[in-house]
Amino acid sequence: MSWWPGWNSIEGAAKWGDIFFWAGFALLVLLAGCEILSKVYSWRKDTLIAMRDGLISVAQDVRPQPKDQERIGAPLQPRPDADIAPVRPPEVEADRSLPEAQPQMPPLQPQMEPPAQPQQTARDTDPLARTSEQVARTPERSPRGLTEGQKKAIISLLSPFRGQKFSVVCIAGDPEGRSIAEEIVNVLRTAGWDFPESGVGEATYNKEPVGLSLMVNAGQIMTPSVLRPVAMLVKALADAGLMQRNGALADPNVPRDRIEVRIGRNRSPS
């Protein structure tokens, strides 16, 4: 061992003894730090897996907006098809007159009726929309509202997504819906969310929505930057008893990177 550094010197042996002592101590600290970081990253991995599964679940729950639940004359987002309904009767009337003027074209009238059948089926099967007669027969629930504890819980869940744009729309002429809509706007603003509109929008629908639902752009239902705040907003409002946990809908007319909170009639969706 004579070739080891400082082996034959008192001073050298003392120096190298101290060096190896502190090097071993440093390596021991490094080992403990590595073990701790390994555990922390393992916990983070489990959290990310849970978040991924939650986002997948939310994405699977996002359903296309029913065709019969579209707005009529919505102030915030005018729809290009809003005037289709009034125009169709003259078209149909004109088509019906064709067979009389041109007897060789009788198949036109049967060809126009089948497309209406699937649309009627969609209207009957949608659980979150009702005709005015169905709404009238459904018992009204007590007015919706948020307690101070619920407001604090919502703010705590949504504060990490500061800057998220949102809009709120209620049914025109529904004072209870407008009241809860304004309350939601105030809570989300307090959480740091961006409300670019001048106020709560009002709209009319072919078939009135019931309860509360979230609308997201149909092209972004798998985008994490949108799904994360949507998932947290669904959780926050569902925990407060304002909506169902599968109440997110996809709508191509909703602006990208924006979440629309749609306030329907205060009726039980079941």
Residues 6+ apart with CB under 8 A from 68: 119, 122, 123, 126, 129, 206, 207
Q: Which spans in the chain are helix H?
A: 10-61, 84-101, 108-112, 116-125, 132-137, 148-158, 175-190, 224-239
Residue among 63, 171, 58 nearest 126 (CA):
63
Could you tell me which residue, 76 or 174, shows the higher pLDDT?
174
Residues 6+ apart with CB under 8 A from 29: none
Q: What is the phi/psi pair of residue 216, to 5°?
A: -130, 160
Query: Considering the chain, what percentage of its residues have pLDDT values greater than 90?
Result: 34
Vertex 179, ends 128 and 142: CA angle to 5°?
Answer: 65
Mean pLDDT calculated for residue range 159-171: 94
Look at residue 100 and tell me whether its pLDDT is greater than 50.
Answer: no
Look at residue 18 and tell me whether its pLDDT is greater than 80.
Answer: yes
Mean pLDDT calculated for residue range 81-109: 39
